[in-house]
Chains A and B, each alone.
Chain A
Amino acid sequence: MAGASKAVADSRANLPFVYRQYSAEQLKEVLYKMYLIRRFEEGAEESYMRGLIHGTMHLSIGQEASAMGICMPLTEDDQITSTHRGHGHCIAKGAEVKRMFAEFFGKTTGYCKGRGGSMHIADVGKGNLGANGIVGGGIPIAVGAALSSKMMKTGKVVVSFFGDGANNEGAFHEALNMAAVWKLPVIFVCENNGYGMSTSTARSTAVKNIADRASAYSMPGVIVNGNIFSEVAEASHKAVERARAGEGPTLIESKTYRHRGHSKSDRNRYRTKEEIEDWMSNRDPITLFENELREFGFIDDKGIESIRDAVAKEIADGIEFAKASPSPDVRDTANYVYTEQA
C-alpha cells in the first residue's frame, strides 16, 4: 500500500505506527469504514427491531478497530475466514454494505442471495470466505486456504478471525498445530471480547492470555489492545510480513469488548452495567482513533462531520437498496445445494 512520503514520514517519526505508515487520506478512509461498520450494525439492529430482518444477529459494536486494523495490510487477493460476529470483518475486507443489508433482508441481491443471512455473510470476490455459525469452524478452513496459497505459490496470506470462545475448541488446536508444522501463511486473530456468550475467559480458559497458547505451537503470540487501531494494524503488519516471507503463522490476541449482548436473546446478566459503561465511555475504538487523528492533525471536526454524514447516507441508501430488492423465488429453494452441471 502506498504510504506517506519521506518528508511527511520524517515529520511523523514519533507518532504511533499507522501515522507513520499511511497517508492522511488512507487514515480518513479507515475512520470512514469504522463508522460504516458501527452504523451498519446499528442499522441492522434497528431493522431487526422493526421486524424487517428475522433470525438473529451478533453485533461487533465496540470491536471495529480490531477488524480494520487486522485487514489494513491485506491485499484484495488475501483471504479471511470470519465468525458469527463477522459484519465488521466483511466490511473491513471490502464488502459493500448495500449487498450486506440485502443479505440480511433475505434478498437475491445479497452476498449469499438470501441463503446465508448474518451468520454466513461472505464476499468471496473480495477474499472473505465467509462468516461461520460454528465456533472455530473457520479456523481449519483458513489453514486449508493457506495450504492452497503455499501449494499454488500465489503469495496469498490468510487471516482467520475467531473469538475467545473458539480457543477452547479442538479445531483451534488442531489447526494451529498443522499451520505451524507446515509453516503456512496464515494469521490467527483471536478477538477476545472477554466472554464466550456468557462465560468469561477467566471461567473457561486455563491460560491468562489466549496468546499464551501460541508457545504450544511454536509461533509468535502477540497481545494488542484491540480498541487501538494503530496497535492492531502494527501487529497485523508484522504477522503479514512474516507469513509472506514463508516464516509461518502468528497468533494475535486482540483484547476488545462488545458493547451489545451476545445475540438478540442476551439479557446481559453476566456483566455489570458499570463494566459496559466503562468500555463504551472510556475505551470506544472509534472515539480513541478519532481523538488521535485530531491530535496528530490528520483531521478536524469538520472532516469528522463530513465522514459521519457520508456514512449515514451510504447506510440509508443501503437499506433502501435492500428493501427494494427482490426476494428469491420459493421454487429456487434447492438451488446451490450442488453445483449446477451442464
Chain B
Amino acid sequence: MDAMVRELSYAQAIQEAMAIAMDMDERVFLMGEDIGVYGGAFQVTGDLVDRYGADRVLDTPISELGGAGVAVGAAVTGMRPIFEFQFSDFATLAMEQIVNQAAKMRFMLGGEVSVPVVMRFPAGSGTGAAAQHSQSLEAWLGHVPGLKVIQPATPYDAKGMLLAAVADPDPVMIFEHKLLYKAKGPVPEGYYTVPIGKADIRREGRDLTIVATSIMVQKALDAAATLEAEGIDVEVVDLRTIRPMDKQTVIDSVKKTSRMMCVYEAVKTLGIGAEVSAMIAESEAFDYLDAPIVRLGGAETPIPYNPELEKATVPQVPDIISAARDLVKGVR
C-alpha cells in the first residue's frame, strides 16, 4: 500500500525525518544551538522538544567545536546524534572535530570504531545575512575522505536522505540551502530512504547536461523550461551527493548530450564544478564532448549584504539560460 503523500516544506520534511528517526531508535537524539524551545534558527526542529523532551532535543552552549566533539564522542560510544549547526559558516569553528576526528577516527583506529554522526548545515546566500552567514562550504568537507557529504534539493530527498544518513555508520554532512526550507513538494508519510551516493536525473533532455547541486537544481529546471520553448532540450542531473560522487550517472548523461555545464552556488574556483569537469575530462565521456565544459559558480567575492549585489554573486536563472544558449549554439 502506498504511503500517503502530502505537500510538505523542505524544513517540515527534515523535521518529520528527525521525528521518525527518534521514534524508531532511542539512540537518536538532536543537539545544537537553540534547537529546543526556540525551535532552531530556521525552525527546522520546531516543536520537537515538546514531543521528545530537552534531553533528546539538547540545546548546547554556543560552542561549535566542543559541540561537534561531543557529537563525535557520543557517536563513537553508541548514540546516534544529529548535530545542527546554526549556520554552515560556523563549521569553520568546528573543522578540527569534523576533519581530524570524525572523518579519520575509524581509519586511524584500524576499523575498530564507526562514527555514525549526522551534521546538518543550513547553507547558502539569499537571506541578506551577508558574508559570515551565507557561504556554501560543502566542497571544503567534500575534500575529506571519511566524510559523506550530501545536498538534498527537494523535500522528498531531504527526508529520505536524512533517514539514510541516520542509518549510515559513517559521518554524514548534510548541506541544506536556507532558501529551500520553505520550498514545498510531495513527501510520503512514514519511513523511506533515498540512497547516499546516487545522483538523480530531474529532467531528461538531448542537447545539454546541466549538473546542478542544491538550490541550483530548481534554477536549472526553470531555465530548462524556458530553453525548451527555444528548442533546446536540457537534461538536469541533480548530483545530490558530492562525496562519494555518482560519476556514472553524469558520464552517461554527458555521453548522451555531448555538452556539459555545472551550476553551483559555492565560489566557482576549486569547487564542485572543477571536480565534475575534471572527472568528465578523465572519463570516456570526454570523447563525446562537442563543446568546452562550462562552469557557473559563485563570484570570487564574499557574499555582500546589498540584495542586488547578493543576487549578482550567485548564478541566477537568466545566467543559466544565457550560458546554455551560448553553449548549445557554440558561441564561445
| Inter-chain contact total with CB atoms closer than 8 Å | 148
* Size band of the interface chain B makes with A: 35 or more
How would residues 131 to 175 of chain A score, 1 for a CB under 8 Å from any chain B CB and 0 otherwise?
Answer: 011100101111111111101100000000000000000110111
- Asked whether, in the complex, the Cβ of B101 is within 8 Å of the Cβ of A137, the reply is yes
| Listed stretches A46-54, A108-116, A242-250, A310-318; interface member | A108-116
| Listed stretches A28-36, A226-234, A333-341; interface member | A333-341
- Asked whether, in the complex, the Cβ of B76 is within 8 Å of the Cβ of A151, the reply is no
Looking across the interface, which residue of chain B has its beta carbon closest to that of A186? Answer: B73
8 Å CB interface, B169-184 against A: 169-170
In this assembly, does A181 line the interface, its C-beta being within 8 Å of a C-beta of chain B? yes
Interface centre among A130, A133, A139 (most CB of B within 10 A): A130
Minimum distance in angstroms from A185 CB to a CB of chain B: 12
- Asked whether, in the complex, the Cβ of B110 is within 8 Å of the Cβ of A174, the reply is no
Question: A134-B100, A137-B96 are known contacts. Are A177 and B114 too (CB-CB below 8 A)?
Answer: no
8 Å CB interface, B54-101 against A: 55, 60-61, 63, 65-79, 81, 96-97, 100-101
Query: Number of A residues contacting the other chain (C-beta, 8 Å)?
Result: 47
- Asked whether, in the complex, the Cβ of A171 is within 8 Å of the Cβ of B96, the reply is yes
Question: A130-B105, A141-B101 are known contacts. Are A147 and B74 too (CB-CB below 8 A)?
Answer: yes
- Asked whether, in the complex, the Cβ of B112 is within 8 Å of the Cβ of A147, the reply is no
A132 surroundings in chain B (CB, below 8 A): 101
- Asked whether, in the complex, the Cβ of A144 is within 8 Å of the Cβ of B110, the reply is no
Question: A79-B77, A151-B55, A177-B61 are known contacts. Are A336 and B68 too (CB-CB below 8 A)?
Answer: no
Q: Which of B67, B111, B146 contacts A178 (CB 8 A)?
A: B67
Q: Which of B63, B66, B146 contacts A337 (CB 8 A)?
A: B146
- Asked whether, in the complex, the Cβ of B66 is within 8 Å of the Cβ of A143, the reply is yes
In this assembly, does A124 line the interface, its C-beta being within 8 Å of a C-beta of chain B? yes
- Asked whether, in the complex, the Cβ of A178 is within 8 Å of the Cβ of B108, the reply is no
Minimum distance in angstroms from B64 CB to a CB of chain A: 8
In this assembly, does A74 line the interface, its C-beta being within 8 Å of a C-beta of chain B? no
A122 to B67, CA, bound (A): 23
Q: Which 8 A-B pairs have the closest CB atoms?
A: A144-B73, A140-B69, A174-B66, A113-B110, A141-B73, A112-B110, A339-B169, A174-B63
Q: List 13 A-B contacts (CB under 8 A).
A: A112-B112, A124-B113, A130-B105, A141-B70, A141-B76, A141-B97, A147-B74, A173-B66, A177-B61, A336-B106, A336-B107, A336-B110, A339-B114
